[in-house]
């Protein structure tokens, strides 16, 4: 199953095949969390490295998608992979593989603990629910990947993507997809670095700006 998910991620983001990509179950030694079903490690992680290495599957430094809890519906599972893959692009070449120091292992555990215990670290400075990681660039990436998934014949519902929508205080993902128009189709063969060197359609940028404006107004109103 994990290999199938890995292949799916590579199918929608071929640029990730330039180096190893790992899709693994959350290891038991990792701090556990209940607020997410998966997460992405764009720059790798020494703990995951150690676990994968012990399993004999380590083939070099690379990003990872860690599944905490597999959704029962296979369509939701693919949606989870679309979401996490959107955190891994544009693909970045990682440094050469090497044994982490003891201090680096401790640091990685501390970071994982902090991540597991404090969901609010994902929010923006004023409590914006989209924070630094799920804003306009992320939405654009995820919708491109979603479009590619559909094109490859995978049925992945907007509502399971964890992209925009009520949870992030933003408009529904389908509305963003409409505003993005045919951009994903036109840029299907491009890398995400190439895509992001271009401006998104004005309607798409405007929708996000309006959402942010509305959220700020509402947020201000509840604070007063
Ligand atoms: Zn995310």
More confident residue, 61 or 70: 61
pLDDT, residue 200, reads 98
- Ligand 1 centroid to residue 224 C-alpha, Å: 30
pLDDT, residue 222, reads 61
- Ligand 1 centroid to residue 161 C-alpha, Å: 9
Strand partners, 64: 22, 41
pLDDT, residue 115, reads 84
pLDDT, residue 27, reads 87
User: What is the pLDDT of the chain when averaged over all its residues?
Assistant: 93
- Ligand 1 centroid to residue 212 C-alpha, Å: 18
- Ligand 1 centroid to residue 145 C-alpha, Å: 14
- Ligand 1 centroid to residue 202 C-alpha, Å: 24
- Ligand 1 centroid to residue 124 C-alpha, Å: 14
- Ligand 1 centroid to residue 37 C-alpha, Å: 10
Q: Which DSSP string corresponds to 8-43?
A: HHHHH-GGGGGS--EEEEPPTTSPP-SS-SEEEETT
- Ligand 1 centroid to residue 83 C-alpha, Å: 6
Mean pLDDT, residues 143-157 = 97
In the chain, where are the structural domains located? 2-122, 136-223
pLDDT, residue 221, reads 64
Question: At residue 141, does pLDDT exceed 90?
Answer: yes
Q: H or E stretch including 67?
A: strand 64-67
Question: At residue 224, does pLDDT exceed 60?
Answer: no
- Ligand 1 centroid to residue 87 C-alpha, Å: 7
pTM, two decimals, is 0.94
- Ligand 1 centroid to residue 142 C-alpha, Å: 10
pLDDT, residue 18, reads 95
More confident residue, 158 or 30: 158
pLDDT, residue 36, reads 82
pLDDT, residue 223, reads 58
Mean pLDDT, residues 146-153 = 98
Per-residue pLDDT tens for 112-132? 888 888 878 788 889 999 998
- Ligand 1 centroid to residue 214 C-alpha, Å: 22
> Cβ-count burial of 25 within 10 angstroms (0-12 exposed, 13-18 middle, 19+ buried)?
middle
Question: Does the domain made of 2-122 have the CATH classification 3.30.2010?
Answer: yes
């Amino acid at each position: 199953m994990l290999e199938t998910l890995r292949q799916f991620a590579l199918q929608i983001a071929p640029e990730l095949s330039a180096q190893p990509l790992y899709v693994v179950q959350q290891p038991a030694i990792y701090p556990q969390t209940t607020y997410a079903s998966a997460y992405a490690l764009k720059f790798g992680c020494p703990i995951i490295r150690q676990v994968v290495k012990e399993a004999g599957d380590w083939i070099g430094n690379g990003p990872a998608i860690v599944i905490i809890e597999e959704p029962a519906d296979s369509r939701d599972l693919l949606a989870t992979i679309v979401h996490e893959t959107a955190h891994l692009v544009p693909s970045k070449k990682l440094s050469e593989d090497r044994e982490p120091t003891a201090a680096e292992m401790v640091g990685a555990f501390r970071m994982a603990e902090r991540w597991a215990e404090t969901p609010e670290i994902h929010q923006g400075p004023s409590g914006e629910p989209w924070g630094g990681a799920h804003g306009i660039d992320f939405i654009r990436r995820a919708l491109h990947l979603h479009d590619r998934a559909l094109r490859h014949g995978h049925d992945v519902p907007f509502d399971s993507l964890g992209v925009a929508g009520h949870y992030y205080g933003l408009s529904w993902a389908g509305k963003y997809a409409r505003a993005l128009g045919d951009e994903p189709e036109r840029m299907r063969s491009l890398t995400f670095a190439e895509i992001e060197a271009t401006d998104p359609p004005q309607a798409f940028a405007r929708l996000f700006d309006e959402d942010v404006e509305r959220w700020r107004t509402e947020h201000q109103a509840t604070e007063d």
